A and B are shown apart, each in its own frame.
Chain A
């Protein structure tokens, strides 16, 4: 099997007395989509924010390509090739698509000033590649639809050549057509060897695109399973009851 591109080992994070993430380990291989599931407050978002460099962990080790890393800021995580698409998309509503795409990593002219025209050009190119019908890249993003905003967020990850992608509820606010678009993009990225953590509530999405899934409950790891070896009911049992999955093969071998 290929070397994991990300290993999170024994992660801990607490906010005051609340153990948001409590001894969770999970890894990710290139070209693999790992679903992160659990109720609200299970610790999914905290876990990915640690990997994205937003929070510092209180315990545990992160390795990227086998090397231990310490992220002091989102910028450090970006430098390690980790891009994150947040649930609320993390866009500045008053700024246009190009400005958002390059936010924090602007293209500069040789005098060190913003190269707005080149940024608009580059943003237009990559956005049209993802979503050919999206041409209003000069409007403030508040004027855009959910799918267009999602396109901007995904374009940001693609432009900066993510090797590891974190997607937090990427289809939550989207219609059916837009959801299909996002899933197609995920499959395409997988082909390119990008490792993806997908946080989702949508069982359909998870079973459509994920290879493995990781279930959290109350900050603790319930279990990890290959999608091909579990049913939706098994997964719901893990999420709701915190039951470790019993592989179907094993169930079949055991007399009832």
Chain B
């Protein structure tokens, strides 16, 4: 994963030079952070799917389905009701995501249909279902508070709150490194060198502080006073959602039985069964999780667009898979990391965003991102070969 972070930094420097300072401007980085969030949320879940030797091609269509459903519920069903019904509409969307996840997981786990087939069918079905909800109409406008979830106008948490979150992140990082050292000292002799841990903390704190500082320096024009002085935006709400997803999924991966079983199943499905693990139920849970995350991405996307349309989320599944793979998730199963998927999503979105700034057409952008994917998988193949030797 460190190599991917370095690659990302190289890409950023390259794009910064090529765009003569446009790419690393506060405005562009804020937009980049928002653009990355929806894809990154889905790709974090895709890590679990691929680690367990499955695949999910349905997420883009599912995103459209739950997105249109959420918008439809908000605008048509709950219209004129109490003011916070946008929350209820999200609950409706999440429920639909869970039901679809159960459906797909059941076919895969209990009926033995390969995930490729089930989710390919889903790829067709859910976009069709998205069309049927509103007969293909675009549903707009959406609730104003709801729109803030998309990171647009007033879609950030402001400077003070951003620094609080940044400080919390730094504190957690310090505690985590210290606690790991303490636990290691309790049980085993081998300890990482102090200087390495110190560097880890310094780099981490610098990255967090740098991110918050940049987000805080982007002025929020919607809140400018009469003289044109505007407060900073701070961290965008979608980024906050993404951080929450990363924290929860990393916790699931490393600290819970569910995560352990996902990795064990990916490493050796037979051994997981022989160890008495209910592997079918584990697979169902993975697909339910994807249903939930697709809905979260759908909320971010519709809130950002201020509309629910059945055309949203196209190619999301491919970007999410690519992000996971670029971030070090092995298609052979058993290996993958949630933060890695975020880095992968950042790589893809940075290239896309930077090439837009350079006025490169979407056709060329697709070709280049495709080539990057091949390079990343090639890296994975070489790495896997070296491991198995």
A residues at B contact (CB < 8 Å): 52-54, 73-75, 78, 84, 86, 88-95, 99-100, 103-106, 108, 112-114, 116-118, 120-121, 124, 138, 142
Contacts and interface: CB of A to CB of B under 8 A. Distances in A.
A95 B334 CA distance: 9
The 8 A-B residue pairs with the shortest CB-CB distance, nearest first, are: A92-B267, A75-B276, A94-B267, A104-B275, A94-B334, A74-B276, A90-B271, A113-B255
Interface string B358-389: 00000000000000000000000000000110
Contacts of A99: 260, 264
Contacts of A120: 187-188
A103 B275 contact: yes
B277 A103 contact: yes
25 contacts: A74-B273, A78-B276, A84-B274, A88-B270, A90-B268, A90-B274, A92-B263, A92-B264, A93-B334, A94-B263, A94-B266, A94-B267, A95-B264, A99-B260, A103-B260, A103-B271, A103-B275, A103-B277, A104-B275, A105-B276, A113-B255, A116-B254, A117-B183, A118-B187, A120-B187
B264 A90 contact: no
Given A92-B264, A92-B267, A117 B187 contact: yes
Contacts of B263: 92, 94-95
Contact of A114 (B254, B273, B278, B388): B254
B275 A142 contact: no
Contacts of A53: 276
B188 A124 contact: yes
B272 interface: yes
B257 interface: yes
B258 to A, nearest CB: 10
Best-surrounded residue of A103, A108, A114 (most CB of chain B within 10 A): A103
Nearest to B274: A90
Given A90-B274, A90-B275, A114-B255, A103 B264 contact: yes
B134 interface: no
B264 A114 contact: no
Interface of B: 183-184, 186-188, 190, 251, 254-257, 260-261, 263-268, 270-278, 334-335, 387-388
Secondary structure call for the A interface: loop
Nearest to A49: B274
Nearest to A106: B257
Contacts of B183: 117
B256 A114 contact: yes
Nearest to A121: B187
Nearest to A118: B187
Nearest to B190: A138
Given A91-B271, A114-B254, A120-B188, 10 more contacts: A52-B274, A54-B274, A75-B276, A84-B274, A92-B263, A92-B264, A95-B264, A104-B275, A112-B256, A124-B188
B372 to A, nearest CB: 26
B256 A93 contact: no
Contacts of B387: 142
B338 to A, nearest CB: 16
Contacts of B276: 53, 73-75, 78, 104-105
Given A94-B267, A114-B254, A106 B260 contact: yes
Nearest to A52: B274
Nearest to A137: B188
Nearest to A76: B276
Contacts of A94: 263, 266-267, 334-335
B268 A117 contact: no
B267 to A, nearest CB: 4
A220 B130 CA distance: 59
